[in-house]
Structure 1
Amino acid sequence: MAGSSDLYSPMMSDALVILGAAGIVIPVFNRFRITPVIGFILVGLLVGPFGLGRHVFDHRWLHYITITDPDGLDIFAEFGIILLLFSIGLELSFARLWEMRRMVFGLGSLELIVIAASLTFILAAIGQSFSGAMALGLALALSSTALVLKITETTTPVGKAALAMLLFEDIALVPIIFLLGALGPHTGDGVSDLLNTLLWGTVVVGGLLIFGRYLLPPLFAQAARTKSPELFLAASLLVVIVASLATAAAGLSPIVGALVAGLLIAETEYHSEVEQITEPFKGLALGVFLITIGMSIDLYVVWENLASILIATVVVIVLKSVVTGVMLRVMGARRGTATEAGILMSSPSETTLIVLTAASTAQLIQPGTAQFWQIVTALGLTVTPLLAMAGKVMGKRVDGAETPHRPADDATRPRTLIVGFGRVGHLVADMLTRHGRPYLAIDSDADLVAHGRRLGYTVAFGNAGRGDALVRLGAADAAAVILTMDEPVTAQRIVRKLRLQFPDLPILARARDADHAAQLYRAGASYAVPETLESSLQLSEAALVETGVAMGPIIASIHEKRDEFREMIMERGGLSEKPSLKSGQLREAERA
């Protein structure tokens, strides 16, 4: 009986509700091409204390499909935001962050100050005290890192602008909270506390940057050598948690430590593998965060104050979108980019709730005022995905016939992905380099990766056979993918997956023999090269040269024999000829 009661404990019941929600929301909303963000918020609204949770005492069975301890989810929601900032750091790297410094500290600070000042003026004009109006203005000026970066791509102009503003807001969160404490009527040492926190925060962040550069590469190298995904995941989470706890102990937000941890790992060759292996945890934890947002909405209170809540929400969204759009135009952004980014950044943030709590604690605003703006914030977060869609539509209309958004690195030549960096991968990389073709080699052997990087090769650690590793490394925009590993089953699986995802992607694969080549063709390879064939052709070429045959006819006959052999392999595999990558056309492409 004791075991039965443990099984149906409140924590277990809440966990089942959350996992069940994830299992329903994600596939259903993906099926209809709708972001699951809305689904998680609606689930929170349904199963929370203001939804079905109201009727638990009347209908005891509802206990098993509702959240019985909403406050117990806060730690998981915070962990989701921490992992999100960690993933942002993985995508950034110090070099990219330095390139964005003008936008982060220029555009980001300008946007936050102007929006906060505008909202402060409006709220003070309608009767709010100046200190309370300032607190509300700063809170509502913040935008949602968790949702905006979940919706947009940080490689687009809109995504880069949003990322810059969000990074500054996350950095400014701690000074804002201390400023509100200093403005409170019951505190007198807020400024000294702020300076003390900034001092210790600088020391801690500096220590993380120094020690992380020397400790993280050997840590992940050792985890990679074990070939254990569990150990690699444990090392990744350990780094995130230690960095977050360190900055929290110094008085800064834990998300600052998570961002620094991501930046440090981004400088290593293991960043893509870390990003891939932590993705499921980030997605589930963010889902919990969104459920907590939905649970904070009391529909009865919304209905009783519907007009004022809607007016307040519309005013905040319109003001923020206009100001942000104007700031972007001043900074030189295109009209479509400014319009889309302005609308995307217009809703309040999850950190708005944190600032509202701090303002209420400092007695700058009344509890009823805080609750009103918490509902406005939750409503704004709920409509953020709809605002994002509206922003894309309006951005295209404003641009008209202008060139659509392109990634920042669109002007560069697409690079080739080399999967496997043994002797064959080295040779392929050398030939691509000789002809001026960019590439990225991937291997799951940490020692091979480290050796290749020491020799100057562009190589990263990653397990191409697991998850969407190749997609994260740029398979969608690759000039071609070349599989050089001597693992027949893994090669076939990778070819099949890539062909399903990218029907037009050139996929060239190393094969052991003719039978393996036929299997690769059936899986979707564009060109499969049997090792036995190439060794025979090289021997034949050497023999013909030594017997005095001219080089021109030798090369022609070698290519002709290669094409004949390829046709025979495809006939053996029961496939029709794929003329797009025949060796003759490959030669024409090389000459071009």
Structure 2
Amino acid sequence: MSSEVSQTLGPIVTLLGAAVVAVPLFRKLGLGSVLAYFAAGLLVGPSGVALFTDPQAILHVSELGVVMFLFIIGLEMRPQRLWSLRQDIFGLGLAQVLLCTALLSGLGLLLGLSALVAFVGAAGFVLSSTAVVAQVLNERGETHTVAGQQAVSILLLEDLAVVPLLILVAFLAPDHTATSSNGWQSVGVALAAVALLYAAGRWVINPVFALLAASRAREVLTAGALLVVLGAALLMEAAGLSMAMGAFMAGVLLSGSSYRHQIEVDIEPFKGILLGLFFLAVGMSLDLALVIQQWMFIGVVLLGYMAVKAVGIYTVARLFGSNRRTAVSRMTLFAQGGEFAFVLFAAAQTQGLIDAPTQALLSAVIILSMALTPLVLILAKHLIPAESPSMHDTEAALDLKGKVLLIGFGRFGQIASQGLLAQGFEVSTIDNNPDRIRDAARFGYKVYYGDGARLDILHASGAQHAQVIMVCVDDRDACMHIVTLVKSEFPQAAVLARAYDRLHAIELIQAGADVQQRETLESALSLGCSALERLGLDSAEAREVIDNIRLRDQERLTIQVCEGIKPDPTYASQMLAPEPLSPVRTTSSPGQ
């Protein structure tokens, strides 16, 4: 029994050891964690010391890391936000895929490949690595920025493109008659699976999690979270779609759930470990002997594909209104092939479009392009000078040093700043809405352009010198991201945040906000106080009633935070007491 256990634990210990040594070392050298995992995988794999001889088995399991990453991205995207990205997904993303596929196919023909092989190679390489891009965005803290959301939109379109590409490969097969005749049936099955997943997310998952939460067993909630992710992925794969797309859709459907944050916390550790394992497995899969033997051909195809794809990405980005720096950044980030290429190449080999040696060569090109991406990003960072964000006639935040940093100058931020300005405090204000900045300038108020979700902008805005940082943005997800970032990077400052509702207030407290203020709470209490006065209470009595309600609300909020109780999001405030409030005692005599 002990020998069987040691045989199982041995590979696990080896992989963990390789990651624990490589990642800190490479990050200290400024090379990033992705390249560290690749290098560690190459070292322990068949082309290295051969501690592992079957990297494909590890790769299949570790693909769940990509699945879970997309699930968490889906949790952060409510359906309304996803709908708002439709132009980026089906405009920007589709244009990039189509143009790059055409350019790469043309390059393949110039390199002497047959038309079918050139198309398959191009279609595989055009699907960028979701794992690499998402990991880099996460490490940079850019997932929630405008550029980051556009990058996510492109990744989603590429995931969607896997299905029509697989159908097209089947159609192009020599014996395509049998396979292509099932095309409409496959589409129908895929739509049915999507409908089933939607129904489960709408009517089943929340009640199930309510039962699990009632059991007060943390491990059962974790198991339920894993069941949701893996079940959705399995359903989509059975329907012919990608597992990653299924997990993303499940995340979107659960984005409004009251159990969303519990699920995210439970999934996060599995996602991180499996994603690292995925990069390790990709490194193991590189056939170094083949690369050495065919180094000239692989080198030409690799550099040619990356260069041509980069040109296509840059062209599309500029056509869709991105500035030069954003276009270059996207170009270097997406210039590699991705994990879905392995699926496409395997299908093409099965259908007889390419042979086994060609598949091995194309797979080597994909792996090397993924490994080169961190180096390309480092090179681009050093060659391209940093730019301060600016918007035509707005002024970028630069070396501000006010005692107070105000992020977001909408209706809430404008009112919140008035008392500070009246007392003569120096307030540095940033906002990412150029129209709002120009409106403020007409009234003589200086607002600088800057995205508070970016660490470099916060530094330029003087966050390191501020005593108080007020987060007044009207996007609850952006607010959470900024509060988390500020608490991590600028511990000297007190963080005061605008909360959308009670649930958001609890999330902000858990994120470390020193003060949170629901945007409608005080105005609603004030209105209620006026109503009491109109109904016959004098001002003192009305204020006492409202103060009592405010006190009870604060006590209940404290209890909910301490016990981890979360209100049902369908009831925004949930501040009414479970029992009637006691009548206010007055000094009036019984006869009055």
TM-score by length of 2: 0.66
Give the residue type in structure 1 aligned to 2:61.
Answer: F
1:238-277 matched pairs, under 5 angstroms: 238-277=227-266
> Could you tell me which residue of structure 1 aligns to residue 191 of structure 2?
202
8 Å Cα contact 1:107-1:331 kept in structure 2: yes
> Could you tell me which residue of structure 1 aligns to residue 493 of structure 2?
505
Which structure shows the higher helix fraction?
1
Deviation at 1:258, TM superposition (A): 0.6
Check 1:4–1:19 CA distance in 2 against 1; reply closer, same or farther (3 A cut): same
1:370-409 matched pairs, under 5 angstroms: 370-393=359-382, 396=385, 402=390
Q: 2:34 aligns with which of 25, 30, 37?
A: 37
Q: Render the CA deviation track for 1:190-245: whole Å, top value 9, x for unaligned.
A: 33322211111111111211231222233334444555432222121111111112
Q: Render the CA deviation track for 1:134-158: whole Å, top value 9, x for unaligned.
A: 1111111110101101101222233
8 Å Cα contact 1:77-1:289 kept in structure 2: yes
8 Å Cα contact 2:45-2:283 kept in structure 1: yes
Q: Which moved more, 1:125-134 or 1:98-107?
A: 125-134
Q: 1:46 aligns with which of 43, 47, 56?
A: 43
1:558-577 matched pairs, under 5 angstroms: none
Deviation at 1:248, TM superposition (A): 1.8
Q: 1:150 aligns with which of 129, 135, 147?
A: 135
> Could you tell me which residue of structure 2 aligns to residue 4 of structure 1?
2
Q: 2:120 aligns with which of 135, 146, 157?
A: 135
8 Å Cα contact 1:116-1:141 kept in structure 2: yes
Check 1:525–1:304 CA distance in 2 against 1; reply closer, same or farther (3 A cut): closer
Q: Render the CA deviation track for 1:16-66: whole Å, top value 9, x for unaligned.
A: 21222233234444445542111111111011111111xxxxxxxxxxxx2
1:178-577 matched pairs, under 5 angstroms: 178-393=167-382, 396=385, 402=390, 413=408, 479=469, 501-506=489-494
Check 1:207–1:367 CA distance in 2 against 1; reply closer, same or farther (3 A cut): same
> Could you tell me which residue of structure 1 aligns to residue 76 of structure 2?
91
Give the residue type in structure 2 aligned to 1:413.
Answer: G
The 2-side partners of 1:185 and 1:525 are apart by: 62
8 Å Cα contact 2:55-2:285 kept in structure 1: no
Q: Secondary structure at the match of 1:50?
A: coil
> Could you tell me which residue of structure 1 aligns to residue 568 of structure 2?
none
8 Å Cα contact 1:158-1:337 kept in structure 2: yes
Q: Render the CA deviation track for 1:392-451: whole Å, top value 9, x for unaligned.
A: 455546x58856999xxx997289xxxxxxxxxxxxxxxx999679xxxxxxxxxxxxxx
The 1-side partners of 2:494 and 2:406 are apart by: 20
The 2-side partners of 1:107 and 1:507 are apart by: 37
TM-score by length of 1: 0.66
Structure 1 unaligned spans of 5+ = 54-65, 416-431, 438-470, 482-494, 510-523, 528-550, 552-592
Aligned pairs, how many? 431
> Could you tell me which residue of structure 1 aligns to residue 585 of structure 2?
none
The 1-side partners of 2:211 and 2:199 are apart by: 20
Q: Render the CA deviation track for 1:267-322: whole Å, top value 9, x for unaligned.
A: 22332332232111111111111111111222232222222222211111111111
Q: Render the CA deviation track for 1:90-144: whole Å, top value 9, x for unaligned.
A: 1222111111101101111111111111111221233322222211111111101
Check 1:164–1:34 CA distance in 2 against 1; reply closer, same or farther (3 A cut): same
The 1-side partners of 2:182 and 2:406 are apart by: 48
The 1-side partners of 2:267 and 2:237 are apart by: 22
Check 1:40–1:525 CA distance in 2 against 1; reply closer, same or farther (3 A cut): closer
8 Å Cα contact 1:135-1:359 kept in structure 2: yes
The 2-side partners of 1:207 and 1:479 are apart by: 45
Give the residue type in structure 2 aligned to 1:6.
Answer: E
Check 1:413–1:217 CA distance in 2 against 1; reply closer, same or farther (3 A cut): farther
Deviation at 1:260, TM superposition (A): 1.0
Q: Secondary structure at the match of 1:373?
A: helix
The 2-side partners of 1:186 and 1:136 are apart by: 20
The 1-side partners of 2:413 and 2:374 are apart by: 43
The 2-side partners of 1:251 and 1:192 are apart by: 15
2:60 pairs with 1:75: yes
Deviation at 1:500, TM superposition (A): 6.6
Structure 2 unaligned spans of 5+ = 398-404, 418-452, 472-482, 498-511, 516-539, 541-592
The 1-side partners of 2:43 and 2:396 are apart by: 38
Q: CA RMSD in A?
A: 3.6
Q: Secondary structure at the match of 2:408?
A: coil
Check 1:327–1:500 CA distance in 2 against 1; reply closer, same or farther (3 A cut): closer
Give the residue type in structure 2 aligned to 1:145.
Answer: T
> Could you tell me which residue of structure 2 aligns to residue 578 of structure 1?
none
8 Å Cα contact 2:31-2:378 kept in structure 1: no
The 1-side partners of 2:204 and 2:416 are apart by: 35
Give the % identical residues: 31
The 2-side partners of 1:130 and 1:318 are apart by: 20
8 Å Cα contact 2:236-2:243 kept in structure 1: yes
Deviation at 1:345, TM superposition (A): 0.4
Q: Which moved more, 1:252-261 or 1:388-397?
A: 388-397
The 1-side partners of 2:396 and 2:18 are apart by: 35
